[in-house]
Structure 1
Amino acid sequence: MMKLFRAALIQSRVGKDRTKNLENAARLIAEAKKGGAQLVALPECFNSPYGTKFFNEYAEPVPNGPTCEMLSKAARDHSIYLVGGTFPEVENNKFYNTCTVWNPEGKLLAKYRKMHLFDIDIPGGITFKESDVLHAGNELVTFDFEGIKVGLGICYDLRFEELAKLYRLQGCELLIYPGAFNMTTGPIHWEILQRARALDNQVYVFAISPARNEQGYIAWGHSQVTDPWGKVTTQAGHEEEIIYDDIQLEKCHNIREQIPIFKQRRTDIYDTIKKCK
């Protein structure tokens, strides 16, 4: 198992032109490779604006379509593992918010559909209802990165500690959440939720936001790496940028040995169980 690797989180700027979004993402992926990254991750809705009125227009099938073609080619050309953020997926006339993962040969390694849809109403803040257009995914998804088990979630999934707990119980050491928190919840909840998921489960957490824009849905930005101690090791601002972090997997082992909470759980009294396949 790889004990040390370099990760790059790409906080890309997203506009209404899909072709330009994909070209920009491809350029930033190439830059991340030059920076020594072996695992590269893109943000939520990196190929389209975020909003229910855009999902139908920008939706593509997986693994066909221009977005998957770009991701596959970029992973292969740069010989990297590529977490392709998310983009709207269509299958059988149903729409999903989907994260794809590609291996260094450009093959589709994993596909995760957002499980918890973002339906909220905060008076004076923000009202949003993804379920007006999107369907929810029903499967936990992990992938193997050079012997490291990685679990996937998307944005609002970060709020549900049971999902992270199930991934830890499956042996994950890293959780990746492409996400676009907004200007109401982002300043208060974005960082603390990542630290909570990392600390509770003694895992690394990556969360990747789009860069902030001033039109439509405004993302908070501040893509972040959090270690298993709950410490923020790297954080972006709100502009377009790439952040790098050299990940030491021994931290997971050491912290789990020092504070063995998963050996001490009282499963005779309580438990977290997975009900789907």
Structure 2
Amino acid sequence: MKISLVYLQKMASRAKSFRIGLIQMLVSDDKSENLKSAARLISEAKEQGASLISLPECFNSPYGTKYFPQYAESVPDGETCQELSRVAKENKVYLVGGSLPEKFENKYYNTCTIWGPDGELIDYHRKIHLFDIDVPGGQKFTESDVLSPGNKFTIFDNGICKIGVGICYDVRFSELFHIYRKEGISMLLLPAAFNMTTGPLHWELLMRGRAIDEQIFVAACSPAQCPDSDYKAYGHSIIVNPWGKVIKQAEFNEEILTADIDLNECDNARQSIPIFKQRRTDLYDTVKCQL
């Protein structure tokens, strides 16, 4: 039986696409309710056709150093991980479990877990760069008062492409994502919780910048803004294509954000503007700047 060239092209294109779902959920101080909400919203995202789904940073607890020890669990044996495993398997999706406070050997981490459609833990990412800032007249926060930094890179494969993982403040450190790009990623997935000081100024700018720098898709998933929370998240979960164009963006409220990811867009961007072939590593890697 002869198979037409057009059919083969369509099949190749189909194999390079998938639908992502970002769960911009309201997070309360009730862990059990947060887990129930996450499970319900993940199922809704699956019904909307998403095969890769992400939760936001600190989806099972309020965001704040005073909360981390209280809500911390072990990975992968804690209550939250057991529920994430169950929901991933039940819906047969790749699930990026936002992040949760993790306790390991008397240390605390801000940790993202990644689950396969079989409910097995694929990998985990501990936030590498801790959120220690003091903006005059704006936000002050010191994660290092409680948390320890992670020390490993995290890339997983959803059967279609390689996906790099960071958490929130990690996005400001472009070196990390350049390493990911050299390892072959086509997407950066970033559970995050920017605030009302840094969010309006830098959120979209940083996500678009990382997409343009590495010619990848960027998907950043935030909690919805809760007016009663000590820490007011900016929301605005976002999906950006390799050209830096915003495909979808939420506002402040709870929402499921979905988009179809066509990896041919990565190829097109890289062929049109071949920055990785044009990099002057002979200068960057060997010559010291003379100041």
Instruction: Please indicate the TM-score interval, normalised by the length of the shorter structure.
Output: over 0.9
Counterpart selection for 2:132 from 96, 119, 140: 119
Tell me how far apart the structure 1 counterparts of residues 78 and 150 of structure 2 sit (CA, whole Å): 20
Counterpart selection for 1:77 from 71, 90, 97: 90
**Secondary structure in 2 matching 1:98:** strand
Instruction: Work out whether 1:176 is the aligned partner of 2:181.
Output: no
Contact 2:16 2:160 in 1 (8 A): no
Counterpart selection for 1:237 from 241, 251, 273: 251
Instruction: Name the structure 2 match of 1:204.
Output: 217
Counterpart selection for 1:87 from 69, 79, 100: 100
**Secondary structure in 1 matching 2:133:** strand
Given the superposition, is the C-alpha separation of residues 118 and 172 from structure 1 closer, same or farther in structure 2, using an over 3 Å criterion? same
Q: Show structure 2 runs of 5+ residues with no match.
A: 1-11, 287-291
Instruction: Name the structure 2 match of 1:260.
Output: 274
**1:26-65, aligned counterparts within 5 Å?**
26-65=39-78
Tell me how far apart the structure 1 counterparts of residues 269 and 143 of structure 2 sit (CA, whole Å): 37
Instruction: Name the structure 2 match of 1:213.
Output: 226
Instruction: Name the structure 2 match of 1:105.
Output: 118
| Superposed CA offset, 1:218-260 (max 9, x none) | 0000000000000000001110010110000000011101111
Tell me how far apart the structure 2 counterparts of residues 200 and 164 of structure 1 sit (CA, whole Å): 9
> What's the RMSD between the two structures over aligned residues?
1.0
Per the TM alignment, residue 271 of structure 1 is displaced from its structure 2 partner at its CA by 4.3
Per the TM alignment, residue 147 of structure 1 is displaced from its structure 2 partner at its CA by 3.4
**Secondary structure in 2 matching 1:147:** coil
Tell me how far apart the structure 2 counterparts of residues 60 and 105 of structure 1 sit (CA, whole Å): 22
Please report the TM-score for the alignment, with normalisation by the length of structure 1: 0.97
Tell me how far apart the structure 1 counterparts of residues 251 and 79 of structure 2 sit (CA, whole Å): 29
Please report the TM-score for the alignment, with normalisation by the length of structure 2: 0.92
Structure 1 ranges of 4+ moved more than 2 A = none
- Number of equivalences: 272
Per the TM alignment, residue 28 of structure 1 is displaced from its structure 2 partner at its CA by 0.2
Tell me how far apart the structure 1 counterparts of residues 182 and 46 of structure 2 sit (CA, whole Å): 32
